[in-house]
Amino acid sequence: MFMQNKSIKYSEAINKALFYSMKKDKNLICYGLGITDPKNIFSTTTGLEKEFGKERVFDVPTSENALTGISIGAALNGTRSVVCHQRLDFFLLAMDQLVNSAAKWYYMFGSQVSVPITIRLIIGRGWGQGPTHSQNLQAWFNHIPGLKVVMPSSPEDAYNLLIASIFDPNPVIFLEHRWLHESIGSFRKKLKKLDEYGCKKIRSGKDITIISMSYLTVEAIKAAEYLKTFFNIEAEIIDIRVIKPLDLKTILNSVSKTKRIILLDTGAEDGSIANDIIAKVYKEVFESLKIAPVNLSMPNIPEPTSYQLTKNFYVNAVIIIKEVLKIFKINKKINLKSPSIHDVPGDWFKGPF
């Protein structure tokens, strides 16, 4: 075990959450693509097979639809599972099992049996992954009734929310941005039910509300610190760590205070979570806004593979700062530069997996 407030890696937090959950539930199984390979899915499954044995922790052939169906059958017979598909893009082959079985079963059969499955999917960009290996489809999952969607941005939330997801009676999509696995953060163990976790206020402020998710919370923090230091603009950051069910109350309370809102979304703009929140904000607190909400999502095109084409494709702290300054009608140059290498989070990143 580990002490409260200790700094740990995001990947380590997921690993410890899996250890905790498998010890708590002796029947819990953890399986999927890359579970026992040398890299252990960014080290998140390291040591699991040795500790809990091959009957509970095992790799599988590349058969996304089948292995998802197996998890549904196991759930209906009382066995929880954590299913790892690695890339979100490959999991699309299992959408029939997810949409027409896992998410609907509880409602179609008189609420007699729930389907407790946690499906771990890796999202995010980098290293020339292109259109079919870097998609952020949380808005798609959000549209499915009966499904919960989680996107932790910190090691603390990765740990607590993964445990909450595993022991939730519903199927949960657990989205991990690959740029977060090596990030380090302080940790406090706070075990609650998944529905008790709302949005998380990362930073308090009175001038503007920044709604962020996943890796973009990291960029939001950088932007907020710069805005405070050089322009005395106090940005309040709200991290949507649970996409569904959405904690709209926390968002509305913040926007009612600041009167301004900018939304950061890792997915494409059309049909995005950000646009959905904008619609809800307009419906509830339209009269209190001083300026129209700003949506900083990805372009409505598949992500390019070329390094040159992706150079200005992503939202980062510099873009956030410039948009905030536009809102406040401040026409000044900033001395914060975008990363010189834009498609890797750091020197440690040696490949897409």
Catalytic (active-site) positions: 64, 133
Spatial contact of 117 and 76, defined as CB atoms under 8 Å apart: no
Spatial contact of 180 and 214, defined as CB atoms under 8 Å apart: yes
- How, if at all, do strands 148-150 and 29-32 pair? unpaired
State the Cα–Cα distance between residues 218 and 144, nearest whole angstrom.
28
Q: In this structure, how many other beta carbons lie within 10 angstroms of the beta carbon of residue 22?
A: 21
Spatial contact of 182 and 214, defined as CB atoms under 8 Å apart: no
Region of 153 please: left (phi>0), alpha (psi -120 to 50) or beta: alpha
Q: In this structure, how many other beta carbons lie within 10 angstroms of the beta carbon of residue 17?
A: 22
State the Cα–Cα distance between residues 25 and 88, nearest whole angstrom.
26
Q: Which of 78, 72, 76 is nearest to 26 (CA)?
A: 78
129: tokens are: 């992954």
State the Cα–Cα distance between residues 120 and 217, nearest whole angstrom.
20
Task: Please give the span between the terminal C-alpha atoms of the chain, in angstroms, as a whole number.
Answer: 27
- Angle at Cα 43 formed by Cα 37 and Cα 48, nearest 5°? 70
State the Cα–Cα distance between residues 15 and 50, nearest whole angstrom.
13
User: Most distant CA pair in the chain: distance in Å?
Assistant: 62
51: helix, strand or coil:
helix
Spatial contact of 186 and 7, defined as CB atoms under 8 Å apart: yes
Q: Which of 35, 13, 16 is nearest to 83 (CA)?
A: 35
164: tokens are: 């909450």
Query: At 28, which amino acid appears?
Result: L
The residues near 109 (Cβ < 8 Å, ≥ 6 apart) are none
